[in-house]
């Protein structure tokens, strides 16, 4: 029985390695046809075409971008869960970290016409035992979801609640269930959940037709 158990564990480990290798190879191999497709879209954009045809080309280009983003998310999640991303938790100033993340993303929100409602106390903060790079990655994923799935709401609320030790991110999009691209948020949110759990944090996540709200706090 011990030999059978060890054999099962070895097989499971080998199957996990194979799965990670297949995902990494698939992510790499799919980039070539996507690049070719984008090249053809660029060429067609230079040809005389109807308004309806132009709209179709624009949607094709957006879809190519979304597929590329999904492949990146899948590869990142695979590397993360296989222990390829170093985890280095330290006492982290959350107010400062969120402020830096918002500053980095501000031009992106502005480009998409998203109004930012920011509540980041200048003189107050709190600290979590967290990996700053992982925490920044979590915020990047959540901000990216707003741009991808809720840009039509033209609004984002980002706040640090010092009293309750929460980071709050909300939008006025159609909700991920009703967004035409909502399914693409799954891998990014799985990555967020994995990282937060590793840092003894969690995200209270709600999404409906009025928008999406995420409150990150201690587990």
Cα–Cα distance between 136 and 121 in angstroms, integer? Answer: 18
What's the predicted TM-score (pTM) here?
0.72
115-119/155-161 β-pairing: parallel
DSSP assignment of 10-75 equals HHHHHHHHHHHHHHHHHHHHTHHHHHHHHHHHHHHHTS---HHHHHHHHHHHHHHHHHHHHHHHHH
Q: What is the pLDDT of residue 179?
A: 43
The candidate with the shortest Cα–Cα distance to 167, out of 192, 190, 198, is 192
DSSP assignment of 159-181 equals EEETTTTEEEEEE-SS-TTTSTT
Q: What is the pLDDT of residue 93?
A: 98
Which pair of tokens denotes residue 36? 């070719």
Residues 132-143 have pLDDT tens digits of: 999 999 999 899
Cα–Cα distance between 28 and 179 in angstroms, integer? Answer: 28
More confident residue, 7 or 191: 191
Q: What is the pLDDT of residue 25?
A: 73
3-state secondary structure of 145: helix
Residues 1-46 have pLDDT tens digits of: 676 666 667 666 666 666 667 766 777 777 788 888 888 888 888 8
Residue with tokens 């938790």: 89
Q: Percent of the chain, pLDDT > 90? A: 44
More confident residue, 38 or 177: 38
CATH top-level class of 90-218 = alpha beta
The candidate with the shortest Cα–Cα distance to 102, out of 160, 161, 28, is 160
Cα–Cα distance between 159 and 82 in angstroms, integer? Answer: 32
Angle value at C-alpha 130, between 94 and 24, nearest 5 degrees: 115
Cα–Cα distance between 159 and 77 in angstroms, integer? Answer: 26
Domain positions in the chain: 2-81, 90-218
Which pair of tokens denotes residue 42? 């660029």
81-85 average pLDDT score: 75
């Amino acid at each position: 029985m011990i030999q059978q158990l060890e054999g099962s564990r070895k097989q499971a480990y080998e199957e996990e390695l194979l799965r990670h290798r297949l995902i990494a190879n698939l992510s790499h191999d799919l980039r070539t046809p996507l690049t070719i497709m984008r090249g053809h879209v660029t060429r067609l954009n230079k040809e005389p075409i109807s308004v309806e045809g132009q709209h179709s080309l624009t949607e094709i280009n957006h879809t190519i971008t979304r597929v590329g983003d999904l492949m990146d998310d899948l590869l990142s999640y695979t590397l993360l869960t296989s222990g390829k991303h170093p985890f280095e938790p330290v006492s982290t100033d959350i107010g400062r970290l969120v402020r830096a993340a918002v500053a980095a993303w501000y031009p992106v929100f502005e480009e998409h016409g998203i109004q930012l409602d920011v509540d980041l106390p200048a003189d107050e903060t709190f600290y979590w035992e967290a990996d700053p790079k992982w925490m920044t990655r979590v915020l990047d994923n959540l901000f990216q979801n707003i741009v991808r799935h809720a840009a039509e709401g033209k609004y984002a609320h980002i706040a640090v609640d010092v009293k309750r030790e929460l980071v709050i991110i909300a939008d006025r999009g159609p909700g991920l269930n009703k967004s035409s691209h909502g399914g693409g948020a799954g891998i990014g949110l799985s990555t967020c959940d994995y990282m937060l759990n590793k840092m003894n944090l969690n995200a209270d996540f709600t999404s409906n037709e009025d928008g999406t709200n995420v409150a990150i706090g201690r587990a």
